[in-house]
């Protein structure tokens, strides 16, 4: 039951994210969507992922987005046509986007219903304690974990270089 509550919150909030004119509203709605997804992770016996979803995604990445939106202080729409017509109802490539999304959902639905009855309820017994994840992260995945730190460092340097004022 709780699954459907969280799932509908996530879907509705995500739909509203791409339907908003004001980017600040989009960011705040995406935070709501991430909260619902975090609830779904709890239902999937993944408390570690649920917590870092809130801390890293909602707490860090979305705040970064909010900073940039407020820093730029850009006008919500550029042209008069954009002001009149809702962003999802414009001419041109938007039609293609709708088509693609509908095709993707239809295909997925077809594949999942066609696949047969093996997708039953989940097996009992949660395995994913934080201890298991941490042990695996620092043994089997230690190389990837260290490479991740280099990735973060490179991204940090790149962001500073890109956003710097040139004089």
Partner 1 sequence: MTPTLSDYLMLSGVLFAIGAAGVFMRRNLITILLSIEIMLNAVNLTFVAFGRALGSADGQIIVFFVMTVAAAEAAVGLAIVIALYRHRESLNPDSFTVLKW
Which of 5, 83, 142, 156 is close enough to bind partner 1 by CB under 8 A?
156
The reply on whether position 70 binds partner 1 by CB under 8 A is: no
Q: Provide the mask over 17-46, with x wherever binding to partner 1 is found by CB under 8 A and - wherever it is not.
A: xx-x--x--xx--x--xx--x--xx-xxxx
Is residue 14 within 8 A of residue 30, CB to CB? The reply is yes
Binders of partner 1 among 49-68, rule CB under 8 A? 49, 52-53, 56-57, 60-61, 64-65, 68
Interface with partner 1: number of residues (CB under 8 A): 85
Q: In angstroms, rounded to a whole number, what is the distance separating the alpha carbons of residues 120 and 117?
A: 7
Instruction: Return the structure tokens found at 167.
Output: 């004089």
Name every residue whose Cβ is closer than 8 Å to that of residue 51 and which is 6 or more positions away in sequence.
Answer: 38
Binders of partner 1 among 119-148, rule CB under 8 A? 119-123, 125-128, 132-133, 136-137, 141, 144, 148
Burial-class residue 53 by CB neighbours within 10 Å (0-12, 13-18, 19+).
buried
């Amino acid at each position: 039951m709780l699954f459907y509550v969280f799932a509908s919150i996530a879907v509705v909030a995500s739909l509203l994210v791409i339907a908003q004119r004001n980017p600040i509203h989009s960011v705040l709605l995406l935070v709501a969507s991430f909260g619902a997804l975090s609830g779904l992770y709890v239902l999937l016996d993944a408390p570690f992922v649920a917590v870092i979803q809130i801390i890293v995604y909602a707490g860090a990445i979305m705040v970064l987005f909010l900073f940039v939106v407020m820093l730029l202080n850009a006008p919500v729409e550029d042209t008069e046509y954009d002001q009149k017509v809702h962003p999802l109802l414009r001419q041109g490539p938007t039609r293609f986007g709708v088509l693609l999304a509908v095709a993707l959902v239809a295909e997925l639905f077809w594949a999942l219903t066609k696949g047969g009855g093996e997708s039953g309820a989940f097996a009992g017994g949660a395995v994913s304690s934080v201890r298991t994840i941490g042990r695996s992260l620092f043994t089997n995945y230690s190389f990837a974990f260290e490479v991740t730190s280099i990735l973060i460092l490179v991204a940090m340097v790149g962001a500073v270089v890109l956003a710097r004022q040139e004089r």
